[in-house]
Structure 1
Amino acid sequence: MLKSFRLIALLALFALFAGCTAKTAPVNEDGLDAKVGAVLESEVAADGEVAESGIEPLDPELEAAPQDAEQLTPEEEEVLLSSNGILFNLDEHETKEVQQYFGFFTHKARKTFDRWLKRSEPFLPYVRQVLSENNMPQDLAMLPFAESGYNAWAYSRAGAAGMWQFMPFTGRKFGLRVDWWVDERRDPYKSTKAAVKYLNVLHEMFGDWYLALAAYNAGEGKIGRALKKTGSKDFFDLTKNNHKLSRRARLRTETKNYVPKFIAISKIFKNLDELGFTNINWENGIQFETVKVPGGTDLLALAKACGMKWSEFHKLNPHFRRQVSPPNAVINAYLPERVMADAADYLESPNSRPFAGYKRYKIRNGDSWYRIARRYGVPVAVLKSVNNHKSNLIRPGHYIMIPGKGSSKSLYASGTSKTRRTAQSRANYRVRKGDTLWSIASRYQVSVKTLKRSNGLYSSRLRIGQKLFIPDNNARSSARSVAKAENVKQQMVKYRVRRGDNLWKIARRFGVKVSALMEWNRLNSKSILRPGDRIKVYVQ
């Protein structure tokens, strides 16, 4: 009897936990997302303290379901009832839930919404551009507000991640890599393209944007079955008939509130001035270039070669989960235009991939940093740095990466000071305004690599007045070649901007610095070049 009682109690306890899991981990139409999401969530929790930084939970306001409507001012009521160019005919659906979310985000959660607006500025121009390129409604740019508050680092309790909150299975289905090395759901640019593809598929499937949004939240299978069983024609009809479905087939409260929340956010965004919010600065979008990073690249050293701190690099590239790129794969990295020349020089160097021969190691009982370092011949400091870990504590069952050889810091710093001193003692050229390594190398018909090696340079950055040694490549005296070059006058070229041009591409084409281009044309890093514009370039 006692055994039977224990068995019943155990089964009841199991059922209780199963119910909690169902609430926090929604299942897509094939049931895979929740399982994979739970695995990834546990991996993030386990690996996070060893190798991850910057992971953030969703803002609590995203999961809030306001029960009572706020008392709106007459101005707010006018905004709520206005159309103001919204594409979805939202005013036909002024439901109680829309009013509740509208009041919630303009009153109780106002500071949160203000923070979301500021956080969205770097990405909104790009999201709207991708939507335009795919002939999609601009209002869909509001979806990341409803999903994550435009937070590229956000993870949900169910394992969804990134601005668009993709579950692992769905993310992989639409071309996003999700593994120990990289989580491209956190890539704001690649995940935006994946989300637009997914939304387009959902719209073609249901022929209605509200149903497409509901399916984005609950899964297309769930919405498709609910429509079929209730005979409903649209989202609002479906929510009214939700009670007719079996408990398992019903839409969750989160899904029923999802579209009203989206509508409320869209209305607020269209009326920021009228509601007293700080408007979006559309000039604040990130200006970046994409660089292909080969497998096994030391990302920490790449950031240093570009004159960037790791935190600055990682903010632009949240999809990297390690300070080394995955082996045997080329992954996109995003960098400011001003550092592209330095990045290209670094990536051409064989020293850029010291960790290509990696080993993923599972920590065992009795292991310590010292024992692992001694076993694999890698300094403890390097092990900790590569795994982004400061503490001396490690836990059995967690994974760390063992680099194949060398240290990024020692490789980065080694072999330059002695060569640089030698080069300065026999220098035959002084750097002038507008010079770059590319322009100097072209002028004296030597390669950039030779010029850097001859002067012990790791970076491509030059200072006005800096002394360089230019090797004689044509069997003439260096002094005579330099003297001849000094007499060459700069000529101004009026360049017509073409489609796809930017300051970095133009600077590279003419062998000049981006900073020089900006100075000659009174431009700054936020200036926009349009096809047909003419800019001045001084060449020799």
Structure 2
Amino acid sequence: MKRLTAYGFSMMGAAVLAACAGAHIPPAPVAPPVSGLTTRDSSAVQLGTALATVEQDSAADQSALDSLHERSPDSLAAPRTNVAVRGEDVRQEAQSLFGNDATATFDIDVSNFAGNRRVLEYLEFFQLDSRDRFTIWLSRLGRYEGMIRERLRARGLPEDLVYLTLIESGLSNTAVSRARAVGMWQFMSSTGRGYGLVIDPWVDERRDPFKATDAAVNHLQDLVQRLGSVYLAAAAYNAGAGRIEREIRRLPGEPDTVDDQTFFQIADRRNLRRETRDYVPKLIAAALIAKQPGRYGFTEIERLPPLVFDEVSVPDATGLDVLARLADTSVAAMLELNPQFVRGITPPGRGVVVRVPRGRGAQVAERYADLPVNERITFVDHYVTSGQTLSGIAQRYMVTVTMLQAANPHLRSHALRVGQRIIVPMSGRVVPRGAWSNPPEPRMRRVSTRYRTASADGTRHRVARGETASAIAKQHGIGLMALLEANDLTMRSVIRPGDVLLIPSR
């Protein structure tokens, strides 16, 4: 693979052209002129505005995903679409889905389980409750589907596992769950690093659609080989392989074979968390609609085209807004091509590969070679600490409050939050490495609220001062690993007084 180099100034042949998939980012609005801002300062404002747009879009995705994951059996009334769910009616429904007039084919077992009550309930949820957002997610398939299917096919996996991304993240590279899983494939940091993804304050490859897909496909391949079933592997992707294996061992008798039906057998026993019990029904429902959107009333899907790009090597910290200017494109386009640069800038002190729109690689490399060092950066980001004010932050960086407000369109000067990120325009200066601050480690509840309401899945324990995970596990007569797995923790995780842990059934 050949790339264009933005330093050393030697052209290394034709730029790489590839199709990629990224979360759809609407064009960023053009910010109005602000007194005191230079042209390069305005570049930082555009970046701040584009980042705010991405944040809003991700929040809308997460709201829909939370609704999807939090649905309980009690919250689901009788289907409103008049789809029957028992006996002969189920057979007729399956016939209507897969009869002679059905044109879609699947390489996961959809037909045998299409009449499952939970599948039908999630079909209704996508069609009615979450219709607007699911329409957006279906449009994003155009960005991603070809690339993901190619990688699944190369590993000998069913290509329809692409639809896991619909229920994991809505195909959003910037999705962040309550448990801090990130990206289109919703990797926890420990699992992502285990599959070779770089995760640091500058680069988070869980957000890179290519590298995250490679990691996810490798993970799924390992799970299929370990468990012997695609649906069991999908459940393990959500809950962990150890938990699924334990539930298989709890089945009465000695099963002769383990297959996709085994998932529904263990799900019916209700020892798994509700989210895991419903994971495969969600997948089947999403696959049914994605393969035949018109059949389910999604008649106006505008699939986004695959992204195509060149790659350019960048040697040191450079803002994506600067690279956008060199490529004659928008900041939003650069963020969509490079979501892995979590701060809108390449990391200082190390070279990375940056994607630019197709046909612009040579232009960017040539212009970068002539770019003064003090014009590579137009901003720094500042993370608010306790007691800080906007005017104090402005004084620290020798800018005006108006400039800060322009670069941060949703900033409320009298309601700063500890840990909040603020873009600070810094045009025309050589930014020393010490000027960059690291984002604070988020303090969070290790168990999301969707687990706390599921009393049937186990009891809850509120951590007291001085307690450890091993002591809590011993107190409740369960293994330490079972406790950690039930709460998405690892041996390196920290629990704090007041945290609420789910105690799994023995």
Q: Which residue of 1 aligns with 2:347?
A: 326
Q: Which has the higher contact order (CA 8 A, sep 6+)?
A: 2
Q: 2:82 aligns with which of 50, 60, 71?
A: 71
| Aligned counterparts, 1:193-208, within 5 A | 193-208=214-229
Q: Which residue of 2 aligns with 1:237?
A: 262
Deviations 1:55-94 (A, max 9, x none): 3232155324545333149997544345842112332234
1:408 maps to 2:418: no
Q: Which residue of 1 aligns with 2:247?
A: 226
One-letter amino acid of the structure 2 residue matched with residue 227 of structure 1: I
Inter-CA distance 277–314: structure 2 relative to 1 (3 Å threshold): same
Deviation at 1:392, TM superposition (A): 4.2
Deviations 1:139-168 (A, max 9, x none): 011111121222223222222222222222
- Whole-angstrom CA distance in 1 between matches of 2:388 and 2:132: 46
Structure 1 alignment gaps of length 5 or more: 1-47, 412-540
1:156 maps to 2:177: yes
TM-score (norm 1): 0.56
Q: 1:62 aligns with which of 49, 68, 85?
A: 68
One-letter amino acid of the structure 2 residue matched with residue 204 of structure 1: Q
One-letter amino acid of the structure 2 residue matched with residue 179 of structure 1: D
One-letter amino acid of the structure 2 residue matched with residue 97 of structure 1: R
One-letter amino acid of the structure 2 residue matched with residue 71 of structure 1: N
| Aligned counterparts, 1:181-330, within 5 A | 181-230=202-251, 233-241=258-266, 250-278=271-299, 284-330=305-351
One-letter amino acid of the structure 2 residue matched with residue 90 of structure 1: V
Q: Which residue of 1 aligns with 2:112?
A: 92
Q: Contact conserved, 1:322 with 1:387, CA < 8 A, in 2?
A: no
One-letter amino acid of the structure 2 residue matched with residue 80 of structure 1: L
Q: Which residue of 1 aligns with 2:464?
A: none
Q: Which residue of 2 aligns with 1:142?
A: 163
Inter-CA distance 398–113: structure 2 relative to 1 (3 Å threshold): closer
Q: Contact conserved, 1:177 with 1:184, CA < 8 A, in 2?
A: yes
One-letter amino acid of the structure 1 residue matched with residue 112 of structure 2: E
Structure 2 alignment gaps of length 5 or more: 1-47, 431-506
Inter-CA distance 365–340: structure 2 relative to 1 (3 Å threshold): same
Q: Which residue of 1 aligns with 2:480?
A: none
Inter-CA distance 331–155: structure 2 relative to 1 (3 Å threshold): same
Q: Contact conserved, 1:154 with 1:162, CA < 8 A, in 2?
A: yes
- Whole-angstrom CA distance in 1 between matches of 2:386 and 2:122: 51
Q: Which residue of 1 aligns with 2:462?
A: none
- Whole-angstrom CA distance in 2 between matches of 1:126 and 1:194: 13
Q: How many residues align?
A: 357
- Whole-angstrom CA distance in 1 between matches of 2:305 and 2:282: 26
Q: Which residue of 1 aligns with 2:197?
A: 176
Q: Contact conserved, 1:296 with 1:353, CA < 8 A, in 2?
A: no
- Whole-angstrom CA distance in 1 between matches of 2:202 and 2:414: 22
- Whole-angstrom CA distance in 2 between matches of 1:192 and 1:378: 41
Q: Which has the higher helix share?
A: 1
Deviations 1:375-409 (A, max 9, x none): 56677777778888855458474376898xx9436
Q: Which residue of 2 aligns with 1:80?
A: 97
TM-score (norm 2): 0.60
Inter-CA distance 168–368: structure 2 relative to 1 (3 Å threshold): same
Inter-CA distance 290–391: structure 2 relative to 1 (3 Å threshold): farther
Percent identity of the aligned residues? 32
Q: Contact conserved, 2:289 with 2:295, CA < 8 A, in 1?
A: no
Of residues 304-313 and 369-378 in structure 1, the stretch that sits farther from structure 2 once superposed is 369-378
One-letter amino acid of the structure 2 residue matched with residue 101 of structure 1: Y
| Aligned counterparts, 1:111-126, within 5 A | 111-126=132-147
- Whole-angstrom CA distance in 1 between matches of 2:53 and 2:300: 31
Deviation at 1:115, TM superposition (A): 2.4
Q: Which residue of 2 aligns with 1:167?
A: 188
- Whole-angstrom CA distance in 2 between matches of 1:143 and 1:111: 19
Q: Which residue of 2 aligns with 1:428?
A: none
- Whole-angstrom CA distance in 1 between matches of 2:140 and 2:378: 38
1:296 match: secondary structure: coil
CA RMSD in angstroms, aligned pairs only: 3.9
Q: Contact conserved, 1:387 with 1:400, CA < 8 A, in 2?
A: no
1:154 match: secondary structure: coil
The 4+ residue runs of structure 1 with deviation greater than 6 A are 73-76, 279-283, 355-361, 378-389
